[in-house]
Amino acid sequence: MTKNKKFLYVVFAILIVIQFIRPERNLGKVETENTIFVNAEVGTILQNSCFDCHSNFTNYPWYTNIQPIGWWLNYHVDEGKEELNFSEFESYSLKRKLHKLEEIKEMVEEGEMPLTSYSIIHGDATLNGEQKETLYKWVTQTRNYLRDTTLLYK
Protein backbone atom coordinates (compact mmCIF):
# COMPACT_ATOMS: atom_id res chain seq x y z
CA MET A 1 0.00 0.00 0.00
CA THR A 2 1.37 3.41 -0.92
CA LYS A 3 1.79 6.30 1.50
CA ASN A 4 -0.91 8.27 -0.29
CA LYS A 5 -3.41 5.42 0.06
CA LYS A 6 -2.63 5.04 3.77
CA PHE A 7 -3.03 8.76 4.24
CA LEU A 8 -6.43 8.73 2.49
CA TYR A 9 -7.60 5.82 4.65
CA VAL A 10 -6.56 7.67 7.81
CA VAL A 11 -8.34 10.85 6.68
CA PHE A 12 -11.44 8.86 5.78
CA ALA A 13 -11.41 7.08 9.16
CA ILE A 14 -11.07 10.42 10.98
CA LEU A 15 -13.98 11.88 9.00
CA ILE A 16 -16.14 8.92 9.99
CA VAL A 17 -15.14 9.06 13.67
CA ILE A 18 -15.83 12.79 13.99
CA GLN A 19 -19.41 12.25 12.84
CA PHE A 20 -20.07 10.80 16.30
CA ILE A 21 -18.72 13.86 18.13
CA ARG A 22 -21.58 16.32 18.01
CA PRO A 23 -22.02 19.68 19.72
CA GLU A 24 -24.94 20.31 22.04
CA ARG A 25 -27.83 21.85 20.16
CA ASN A 26 -29.36 25.21 20.97
CA LEU A 27 -32.91 23.96 21.56
CA GLY A 28 -34.11 25.96 24.55
CA LYS A 29 -37.51 27.54 24.84
CA VAL A 30 -38.44 29.94 22.06
CA GLU A 31 -39.91 32.39 24.56
CA THR A 32 -39.19 32.91 28.24
CA GLU A 33 -39.91 35.67 30.73
CA ASN A 34 -36.67 37.32 29.53
CA THR A 35 -37.51 37.29 25.82
CA ILE A 36 -37.61 40.73 24.28
CA PHE A 37 -41.12 42.05 23.72
CA VAL A 38 -41.82 43.06 20.11
CA ASN A 39 -44.85 43.56 17.89
CA ALA A 40 -45.78 40.89 15.32
CA GLU A 41 -44.10 42.63 12.37
CA VAL A 42 -40.76 43.09 14.16
CA GLY A 43 -41.08 39.60 15.65
CA THR A 44 -41.36 38.07 12.18
CA ILE A 45 -38.30 39.98 10.97
CA LEU A 46 -36.24 38.96 14.00
CA GLN A 47 -37.44 35.36 13.77
CA ASN A 48 -36.47 35.06 10.10
CA SER A 49 -33.22 37.00 10.20
CA CYS A 50 -31.80 36.86 13.72
CA PHE A 51 -33.16 34.21 16.06
CA ASP A 52 -31.21 31.21 14.74
CA CYS A 53 -28.01 32.77 16.09
CA HIS A 54 -29.33 35.28 18.62
CA SER A 55 -31.88 33.35 20.71
CA ASN A 56 -32.10 30.21 22.82
CA PHE A 57 -33.62 28.26 19.95
CA THR A 58 -32.03 27.44 16.59
CA ASN A 59 -33.69 25.77 13.62
CA TYR A 60 -31.01 23.40 12.40
CA PRO A 61 -30.74 22.56 8.69
CA TRP A 62 -29.87 18.99 7.68
CA TYR A 63 -26.23 19.78 6.92
CA THR A 64 -25.50 20.57 10.57
CA ASN A 65 -25.42 16.80 11.06
CA ILE A 66 -22.19 16.70 9.05
CA GLN A 67 -19.07 17.36 11.08
CA PRO A 68 -17.09 19.64 11.10
CA ILE A 69 -19.84 21.84 9.60
CA GLY A 70 -21.97 21.29 12.71
CA TRP A 71 -19.11 22.40 14.95
CA TRP A 72 -18.56 25.54 12.87
CA LEU A 73 -22.25 26.47 12.98
CA ASN A 74 -22.42 25.75 16.70
CA TYR A 75 -19.49 28.10 17.23
CA HIS A 76 -21.35 30.85 15.34
CA VAL A 77 -24.53 30.30 17.36
CA ASP A 78 -22.61 30.40 20.66
CA GLU A 79 -20.77 33.53 19.56
CA GLY A 80 -24.01 35.16 18.39
CA LYS A 81 -25.80 34.42 21.66
CA GLU A 82 -22.88 35.76 23.65
CA GLU A 83 -23.04 39.03 21.72
CA LEU A 84 -26.86 39.39 21.77
CA ASN A 85 -29.51 36.96 22.94
CA PHE A 86 -33.08 38.05 22.29
CA SER A 87 -34.28 35.24 24.59
CA GLU A 88 -32.40 36.84 27.49
CA PHE A 89 -32.73 40.52 26.52
CA GLU A 90 -35.01 41.49 29.42
CA SER A 91 -32.39 40.24 31.89
CA TYR A 92 -29.84 42.78 30.56
CA SER A 93 -29.11 45.99 32.43
CA LEU A 94 -30.66 49.17 31.02
CA LYS A 95 -27.28 50.34 29.78
CA ARG A 96 -26.67 47.07 27.95
CA LYS A 97 -30.18 47.06 26.45
CA LEU A 98 -29.72 50.57 25.07
CA HIS A 99 -26.29 49.68 23.71
CA LYS A 100 -27.50 46.46 22.06
CA LEU A 101 -30.43 48.26 20.44
CA GLU A 102 -28.04 50.81 18.95
CA GLU A 103 -25.77 47.99 17.76
CA ILE A 104 -28.72 46.29 16.05
CA LYS A 105 -29.35 49.43 14.06
CA GLU A 106 -25.66 49.90 13.21
CA MET A 107 -25.14 46.29 12.16
CA VAL A 108 -28.19 46.33 9.89
CA GLU A 109 -27.26 49.74 8.40
CA GLU A 110 -23.73 48.58 7.65
CA GLY A 111 -24.95 45.29 6.16
CA GLU A 112 -23.06 43.24 8.74
CA MET A 113 -26.20 41.46 9.92
CA PRO A 114 -27.54 39.08 9.05
CA LEU A 115 -24.26 37.49 8.04
CA THR A 116 -23.82 37.00 4.31
CA SER A 117 -22.96 33.33 4.87
CA TYR A 118 -26.32 32.91 6.64
CA SER A 119 -28.31 34.92 4.09
CA ILE A 120 -26.96 32.91 1.15
CA ILE A 121 -28.50 29.74 2.53
CA HIS A 122 -31.51 31.42 4.15
CA GLY A 123 -32.72 33.77 1.42
CA ASP A 124 -35.66 34.98 3.51
CA ALA A 125 -33.20 36.29 6.12
CA THR A 126 -31.98 39.06 3.81
CA LEU A 127 -33.56 42.33 4.88
CA ASN A 128 -35.20 44.57 2.31
CA GLY A 129 -35.44 48.34 2.68
CA GLU A 130 -38.89 48.24 4.27
CA GLN A 131 -37.82 45.65 6.86
CA LYS A 132 -34.73 47.71 7.70
CA GLU A 133 -36.87 50.82 8.19
CA THR A 134 -39.24 48.84 10.41
CA LEU A 135 -36.28 47.72 12.54
CA TYR A 136 -34.83 51.25 12.73
CA LYS A 137 -38.19 52.63 13.83
CA TRP A 138 -38.61 49.87 16.41
CA VAL A 139 -35.08 50.43 17.77
CA THR A 140 -35.75 54.17 18.15
CA GLN A 141 -39.14 53.64 19.80
CA THR A 142 -37.79 50.98 22.15
CA ARG A 143 -34.77 53.08 23.15
CA ASN A 144 -37.03 56.07 23.81
CA TYR A 145 -39.45 53.94 25.81
CA LEU A 146 -36.66 52.49 27.94
CA ARG A 147 -35.22 55.93 28.62
CA ASP A 148 -38.63 57.45 29.41
CA THR A 149 -39.73 54.70 31.78
CA THR A 150 -36.37 54.83 33.55
CA LEU A 151 -36.70 58.59 34.09
CA LEU A 152 -40.30 58.11 35.23
CA TYR A 153 -39.31 55.70 38.02
CA LYS A 154 -36.29 57.64 39.31
From its phi and psi, is residue 111 left (phi > 0), alpha (psi between -120 and 50) or beta?
left
Residue 80's contacts (CB-CB under 8 Å, 6 or more residues apart) are 53, 54
State residue 8's pLDDT score: 86
State residue 151's pLDDT score: 58
Q: Measured between alpha carbons, how far is residue 32 from residues 36, 42, 57, 124, 135 in Å? A: 9, 17, 11, 25, 22
Following DSSP, what letter does each residue of 95-122 receive, concatenated?
A: HHHHHHHHHHHHHHHTT-SS-HHHHHH-
Under the banding of pLDDT at 50, 70 and 90, the label for residue 10 is: confident
Please determine, for residue 21, whether its predicted confidence score (pLDDT) is greater than 90: no
pLDDT tens profile 111-150? 999 888 888 888 889 999 999 999 999 999 999 988 887 6
What is the chain's mean pLDDT, rounded? 88
Three-state SS for 15-71 is HHHHCCCCCCCCECCCCCCCCCCCCHHHHHHHHHHCHHHHCCECCCCHHHHCCCHHH
pLDDT tens profile 67-120? 998 898 899 999 999 999 999 999 999 999 999 999 999 999 999 998 888 888
Question: pTM of the full predicted structure?
Answer: 0.83
CB atoms within 10 A of CB 15: 12
